[in-house]
């Protein structure tokens, strides 16, 4: 913590051991961001009911392809409707509770490491990380209890969150091992 308190300290001046610890944390953080993207895609992506279906309970019409071979029954041309139930209040509360404890701690750690890089526009990147995270946590509530039309907010804030947090995680790793102050201009 002494390093964070001194005004002139930069991340490339850390000991090799500290660099290993922070690099390990950064790699796990980047993996977490990647898995979050995969989880989002599986949870509300194109193969599922989507953001509107998951959070607001709006169903989407799906047409099933006829089976190959076998007898064919002539049915009227209407697309079957998939039953979709909105996420419950309790489930939203549970997920939000968990994320309100973990996301700020994650942001605190990567923001501190990012502040040691000497990068330009640090305030913008840090504010972007916190702002996109806050909006991303609020998006399910806004979709479920506001309007399903706000479903665009979820993927947009998720993408902004992945970009800002990914950069604030990867950049310190690169800078701390580069040993070149001229590389600090991001």
Q: What are the pLDDT digits (tens) for 45-66?
A: 666 667 777 777 776 544 455 5
pLDDT tens for each residue of 7-52 = 667 888 888 898 999 999 999 999 999 998 888 777 776 666 677 7
Q: Is the dihedral of CA 93, 94, 97, 103 positive or negative?
A: negative
What percentage of the chain has pLDDT greater than the value 70? Answer: 78
Under 8 Å CB-to-CB from 97, ≥6 apart: which residues?
A: none
pLDDT value at position 138? 96
Q: Are the CB atoms for 100 and 73 separated by under 8 Å?
A: no
- Quick: pLDDT tens for 132-173: 999 999 999 999 899 889 989 999 999 999 999 999 999 999
Nearest to 98 by CA among 88, 86, 87, 106: 106
Minimal CA–CA distance to 168: which of 7, 25, 15, 39?
Answer: 25
DSSP state of 117: T
* Rounded Cα gap, residues 46 and 69, in angstroms: 28
pTM confidence score:
0.73
DSSP for 18-76? HHHHHHHHHHHHHHHHHHHHHHHHHHHSTTTTHHIIIII----B--PPPPSSS------
CA angle, residues 58, 61, 66, in degrees to nearest 5: 150
The residue-averaged pLDDT of 78-97 equals 79
Q: What is the pLDDT of residue 108?
A: 94
């Amino acid at each position: 913590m002494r390093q964070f308190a001194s005004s002139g300290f930069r991340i490339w001046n850390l000991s090799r051991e500290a660099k290993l610890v922070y690099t390990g944390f950064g790699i796990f953080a980047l993996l977490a961001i990647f898995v979050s993207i995969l989880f989002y895609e599986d949870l509300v992506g194109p193969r599922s009911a989507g953001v509107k279906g998951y959070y607001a309970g709006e169903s989407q019409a799906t047409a099933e392809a006829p089976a190959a071979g076998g007898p064919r029954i002539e049915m009227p041309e209407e697309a079957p409707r998939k039953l979709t139930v909105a996420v419950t209040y309790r489930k939203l509360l549970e997920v939000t509770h968990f994320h309100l404890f973990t996301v700020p701690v994650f942001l605190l750690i990567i923001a501190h490491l990012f502040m040691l890089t000497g990068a330009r526009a640090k305030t913008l990147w840090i504010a972007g990380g916190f702002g996109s995270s806050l909006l991303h946590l609020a998006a399910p509530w806004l979709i479920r209890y506001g309007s399903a039309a706000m479903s665009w907010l979820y993927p947009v804030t998720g993408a902004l969150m992945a970009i800002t947090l990914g950069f604030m995680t990867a950049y310190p790793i690169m800078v701390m091992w580069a040993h070149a102050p001229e590389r600090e201009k991001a």
